[in-house]
Amino acid sequence: MSLLVQTLSINERQSILDAVKCIESGNLQIAFVTTDDMLLLGVVTNGDVRRYLLQGGQTDLPVTACMNRQFRAAHSGATREELLKIFDLGYTAIPGLDADGRLVEVYTRQMAASAEAPVLARARAPVRMSFCGGGADLTYFFIDHPAAVLSCTVGLYAHATLIPRGDRQIRIFSEDLGREEHYGSLPALLAANEKSLLATIVAVIKPKYGFDLYLRSDFPVGSGLGGSSAATIASIAAFNELRQDRWSTYEIAELAFQAERLCFGIAGGWQDQYASAFGGFNLIEFENQRNLVHPIRLEEAIRNELESCLVLCDTGISHDSGRLHELQREEIEAESSQNELLSASVALCRRMHRYLVRGELRDFGLCLDEAWQLKKQFSSAISHGRLDTIYEAAIKAGALGGKLLGAGGGGFFLFYVQPQDRQRVVHAVRAQGCQAQNFRFESSGVTSWRTKI
């Protein structure tokens, strides 16, 4: 029982004079008449007492003689909205009753705001679909040669949930890998010899509190969609949600590159982190001094038509993008012809950008084939017999062009197909043991929010 209930309640057997004393003891000028077990029978105010006495009533009679039985009450736990509406009708105090009609609370116009509740942070980051320029985003190339990548994001996400703890423990759960990691504190995590990618992200951020971190994805591991970068971006964004001085989108992407490429050691370029962080269609330029993300504004008709003409195909073959990027780096350093191939890829990227913006999608689709033919020359590990067979089957069925997403070796194929040929292409890739994956373009990048625990 609250102190206000104790102060303002009076037993039904007490006198009217006792009620006056109860009313005058507080500044709400009201008393609540209850039974022995706190059932609310009525309310009494100074006005009720005055009217009763003017009619010849006696102050030594029970308070029930002058109480008002027609009172307004609220259920215990009523929402602020409900209470404000009652107060706005002119009431200064509202009795709060339990399910049996017992007085358990008295609400006033000075009711406090709800106490601050613990919160958790959530974030999701989309994967990217790269059209052209992949490989040119490797530092070993663009440190001396300006580079560009054309990509977009699709509605397949990595999801992160961050729940702060009251102690210093750190627990990390990866649903995709079926892996759990437990550390007694941040120093224990930092001292660990072998860390997962998620633990490496924590080591880079160095949060000052304990937490539980959960990660899950809408896509398979080794898909070629930049999934590890999406997971990294989502995890960093969840921590960012709880910061007072939040990192910018560029800073989130750069922290992700640091954690994934430099600290955890997955070889690769820069495009995945920027694409997942910024979202939408982008031309991303790389150079020695600064990387820049240029958003592409597409007419709605162009965007819808492109979405209708692309077929995303899961080969079911997983790949190790890090190892493929290591091989490409070795070949770049060993052969000057690699630089020529990458420069040709950048030139093609800029041409595809122009086609895309102008809505010249047939030419854009044909360029996907050029991009694939260039990509296969980067390394002998990018394609193999089965992948070539899948590609040839799709082209024979009517696809104008296509390319393997990601570093190569497996993952997802992307084909450009006119609507009238779509069904034949889907049947052709299914006959090769592949599965067409429905998707929608995603215009937003990483998003984060917080909610009460």
The angle that helices 422-431 and 385-397 make with each other, rounded to 10 degrees, is: 150
Check if 314 is active-site.
no
Angle between helices 361-376 and 336-358 in degrees, nearest 10? 170
Decide if 94 contacts 121 (C-beta within 8 A): no
Residue that the structure tokens 């008449």 belong to: 33
The residue from 137, 218, 272, 369 that is catalytic is: 272
Assigned token pair, 405: 């997403």
Contact 19, 47 (CB under 8 A): no
Question: In this structure, how many other beta carbons lie within 10 angstroms of the beta carbon of residue 356?
Answer: 23
Which of 18, 17, 22 has the alpha carbon at shortest distance from 58?
A: 17
Q: Looking at the chain, how many residues does it have?
A: 453
Q: Quick check: 133 and 150 in contact, CB under 8 A?
A: yes
Residue pair 162/241 in contact by the 8 Å Cβ criterion: yes
Beta bridge partners of 212: 163, 171
Helices marked H in 310-439 — which ranges? 321-334, 336-358, 361-376, 385-397, 422-431
DSSP alpha helix (H) spans, 184-284: 186-191, 197-205, 227-241, 249-257, 271-278
- Residues with a catalytic annotation lie at 272
